[in-house]
Structure 1
Amino acid sequence: MKVAILAFGSRGDTQPCVALGRGVRARGHDVTVVAAPRYAPLMDGLALAPLSVDPVAVLDSDEGQAWLRSGPLGFVSGFRRVVEPLAEKLVVEVDAAARDADLVLAPALGGMGAHLSERYGMPYLLMHFQPSHPTAAFPNPLVPARTLGGWGNRVSYAVIERLSSLVLGRMVDRLRRSVFGLGPARRGREAPVLCAVSPLVVPRPRDWPARVHLTGYWRLPPGPLPDEITAFVEEGPRPVFVGFGSMRPPEGLATRVLQALRLAGVRAVVQGLDVERSANVLQVEEVDHGALFPLVSAVVHHGGAGTTATGLTAGVPNIVCPFFADQHFWGARVAALGAGPAPLPVRRLTAEALAARVLRAVPNPRLAARLRVEDGVRQAVDLLQLSG
């Protein structure tokens, strides 16, 4: 069987897709991952269909960062402004990569799985990296509220979907016509959903239908750390990790972080911030979180879904400093699980507040031990019901 996995985002979105792809390949199937070429080193035998547009470069641009900071309504409208000029090229590339697949695994945004299935007839499943199916248990993770009440929680999903349809519908229909030769999109059958989140972290809502599966995290085995990082970790007390993923730090954040580290009296590995190296601070760029996090005393991060999962699994305190979107959701979950303090939104981050959280943060080792034995990839592949 030929399986196409569509991985359109940054490393945090692509790495789980690769982990799932490896699990599918281990069952004897051919797997193609459609992703940016910068992630080729992750493939390890999987076929890569490279996209000509680099999502990291798009998100790192001034326009991309403004889009990401713009809240739910601005996020949807900004998607059209930032992505639409690139969309036709991307859709043509995805079509070429997936048209011969026997099964497509796709994210919900853009509806590519549905378009491919309608055009070529293959089945598809949706991949969610945050719990995005409507429920009364909590609001849509893009909405920065812990609860809106049962009715309000469910309505929040409908509002986000309606806004998406209003803003993106014309573009989607144009691309369906020009690339696939299809008419306007209509609501069809509801596809099965594989949600790559642990039920230990987000309990499965009782009102989800049977076709929505909370599988557990899709993780790659940790790789080796550079000698420089290993030596730094081993030469003194366990350091703190500080990194905010692909988020562009606001002015002065690096200075406030360094002040917080001095106030707390801790060593640190700092990723992605422009800080000066010293005896107590090692500045790094890309690093394997799965390998590093078990070796540190705490992790300070933005609350991305993948980073949160890795931090919780490592069994060290998570100090979440959300910027926007679902990061507030994950910060609230960390606090609710007793795996870290209340989130500290980056717009309110001061040296004193961050230092206090570093000193007070405690882990949840029992949760970490259970997460480490959970096999989300196996669960997801079992649910695919693949035949040879």
Structure 2
Amino acid sequence: MRVAIHTLGTRGDVQPYLALALGLKQAGHEVLIAAPSQFESFVVSRGIAFAHLPSEYLALLETPEAKAAMAGGAGFMAGFRMLKQFRPIGRQQLSAEWQAARRFRPELIIYHPKAIAAAHIAEKLSCPAVLASPLPGFTPTAAFASPLVPFRSLGPLNRLTHSAMAHSAYALFRGMIGEWRATELHLANTPEKKLRPRATLYAYSPHVVPVPPDWPNTVAVTGYWFLGGDDVWQPDPQLQRFVEGDERPVYVGFGSMPGVDPTSLTKLVLEALAKAGKRGVLAVGGGALRGDLGASHVHFIQGAPHAQLFPLMSACVHHGGAGTTGAALRAGKPNIICPFFGDQPFWGRRIDDLGVGPRSRGVRNLSADWLAAAIAEATGNPLIQQRANRLGEAIRVEDGVASAIGFLRSQHLLN
């Protein structure tokens, strides 16, 4: 079958879908990934066909408006502020998604929640569409509030939060989508009935977020979609000598989060590590940290495969992206989450609930004293270490990609 995967976002929004694409290709399917142009070489180097979506989305994260939105709050309001900045790019995205699908003619479309054209394209092509997300929040449940709202639970309103978030993009961009449907898809401005995916895949471990009992059988929590192929990576000699010290260092990195004030944040991290009496490996490639503020107790890297790097660490301090959280948990490491925005506070709450790390604190409220105490707790509390080890063992035996493909077959969506 011809399977198109549409995704938009940072590397964390592309890498798991590439892992799924490779699994589908190995199973005999022809696969296309439509993603921001910056990821072309990343995808094509793995032997998967690629279609370009607007590159401006990633550039948006570096604009003063986006940085201000993320600096202004670690929760869902920052995401809504960024949606306003996204509007000019959105129309380009709709056309680019349609162009990719028109050329490829998929028989199945699997799409990230931010791929706002995919469900409408599936309607046009009369092919099934499957929503695939690295976080819950698009299937109503009474078990917890949507990860995109800043509450653990709103009791009887929990289901409403999921429904609201699932349909928020269409509500915000209804006019733009309607004009695009009419002029390019030659469909009615508004669908005759609400467009719903034929099935939904959630690419995280049920050991991390248990499956709610009120979800239908068209929804699967498959386990994480980890990308392999980095086994040949080895730390350079400097990093190797650093991690072979008396005690394993602490990883500190904030993924693709932009640098709101990288100098201040880096100084805070250096001070916290010193107060905790720990050494650190700081990943600076994303821009949130600076790599030119040298100190004897830290080693700076641009980046490294999490699957190989995290097992060498004692704990992981990060922003709480779904993929980074999953990689740290698979490595059996305590997590210290300092969320910037979006769903990241949700993963911080899950770490707290699971007892595999201290309670999270948003990056705008960080202090060296708090971070030092959190590092000391994560690395010095044997119960946290034991729980993290057990959770890592459970995640490592999962095969999320195989589970996802098997589920799609069981739903008669794959031959």
Q: Which runs of 5+ in 1 are unaligned?
A: none
Q: Give the percent of matched residue pairs that are identical in Structure 1 and Structure 2.
A: 39
d(CA) in 2 for partners of 1:355, 1:167:
41
| Contact 2:131–2:197 (CA under 8 A) maintained in structure 1 | no
Aligned to 1:291: 308
Alpha carbons of structure 1 residues 250 and 189: separation in structure 2 relative to 1, 3 Å:
closer
Partner of residue 382 from structure 1, selected from 403, 406, 414? 406
The residue type equivalent to 1:175 in the other structure is W
Alpha carbons of structure 1 residues 54 and 167: separation in structure 2 relative to 1, 3 Å:
closer
| Contact 1:270–1:283 (CA under 8 A) maintained in structure 2 | yes
1:60 partner SS = coil
Q: How does 1:363-374 map to 2 (within 5 A)?
A: 363=385, 364-374=388-398
| Contact 2:35–2:52 (CA under 8 A) maintained in structure 1 | yes
> Which is worse superposed, 230-239 or 368-377?
230-239
Partner of residue 264 from structure 1, selected from 268, 271, 276? 276
| Contact 1:60–1:246 (CA under 8 A) maintained in structure 2 | no
d(CA) in 1 for partners of 2:371, 2:161:
31
d(CA) in 1 for partners of 2:16, 2:98:
22
Q: How does 1:107-122 map to 2 (within 5 A)?
A: 107-122=112-127
Partner of residue 221 from structure 2, selected from 214, 217, 225? 214
Alpha carbons of structure 1 residues 380 and 31: separation in structure 2 relative to 1, 3 Å:
same
- The offset of 1:196, in angstroms, is 0.5
- 1:160 and 2:165 matched: yes
d(CA) in 2 for partners of 1:383, 1:166:
30
Q: Which runs of 5+ in 2 are unaligned?
A: 379-383
d(CA) in 2 for partners of 1:253, 1:74:
19
* Residues 176-225 of structure 1: per-residue CA shift (max 9 Å, x gap): 22322221233045421011111110000011111111111100126114
1:310 partner SS = helix
- 1:90 and 2:93 matched: yes
Aligned to 1:274: 290
Alpha carbons of structure 1 residues 293 and 209: separation in structure 2 relative to 1, 3 Å:
same
Q: CA RMSD in A?
A: 2.0
The residue type equivalent to 2:106 in the other structure is A
d(CA) in 1 for partners of 2:245, 2:114:
45
> Which is worse superposed, 254-263 or 242-251?
242-251
Aligned to 2:381: none
2:14 partner SS = helix
* Residues 121-141 of structure 1: per-residue CA shift (max 9 Å, x gap): 121111111111111111010
Alpha carbons of structure 1 residues 290 and 25: separation in structure 2 relative to 1, 3 Å:
same
d(CA) in 1 for partners of 2:43, 2:169:
32
TM-score by length of structure 2 reads 0.87
- 1:176 and 2:181 matched: yes
> Which is worse superposed, 214-223 or 32-41?
32-41
- The offset of 1:292, in angstroms, is 0.7
Aligned to 2:143: 137
| Contact 2:18–2:33 (CA under 8 A) maintained in structure 1 | yes
Partner of residue 251 from structure 2, selected from 217, 241, 256? 241
> Which is worse superposed, 228-237 or 23-32?
228-237
* Residues 133-167 of structure 1: per-residue CA shift (max 9 Å, x gap): 11111101011111111x12112223435654442
> Which is worse superposed, 242-251 or 254-263?
242-251
Aligned to 1:76: 80
Aligned to 1:53: 55
d(CA) in 2 for partners of 1:4, 1:193:
15
| Contact 1:77–1:167 (CA under 8 A) maintained in structure 2 | no
| Contact 1:53–1:86 (CA under 8 A) maintained in structure 2 | no
- The offset of 1:110, in angstroms, is 5.0
d(CA) in 2 for partners of 1:101, 1:231:
49
d(CA) in 1 for partners of 2:352, 2:4:
37
Alpha carbons of structure 1 residues 130 and 294: separation in structure 2 relative to 1, 3 Å:
same
> Which is worse superposed, 355-364 or 248-257?
248-257
d(CA) in 2 for partners of 1:164, 1:250:
26
Aligned to 1:66: 68
| Contact 2:222–2:403 (CA under 8 A) maintained in structure 1 | yes
The residue type equivalent to 2:136 in the other structure is P
| Contact 2:97–2:118 (CA under 8 A) maintained in structure 1 | no
2:364 partner SS = helix
d(CA) in 1 for partners of 2:341, 2:90:
24
Alpha carbons of structure 1 residues 256 and 222: separation in structure 2 relative to 1, 3 Å:
farther
Aligned to 1:302: 319
- The offset of 1:49, in angstroms, is 1.5
Q: How does 1:20-39 map to 2 (within 5 A)?
A: 20-39=20-39
- The offset of 1:171, in angstroms, is 1.7
Q: How does 1:142-153 map to 2 (within 5 A)?
A: 142-149=148-155, 151-153=156-158
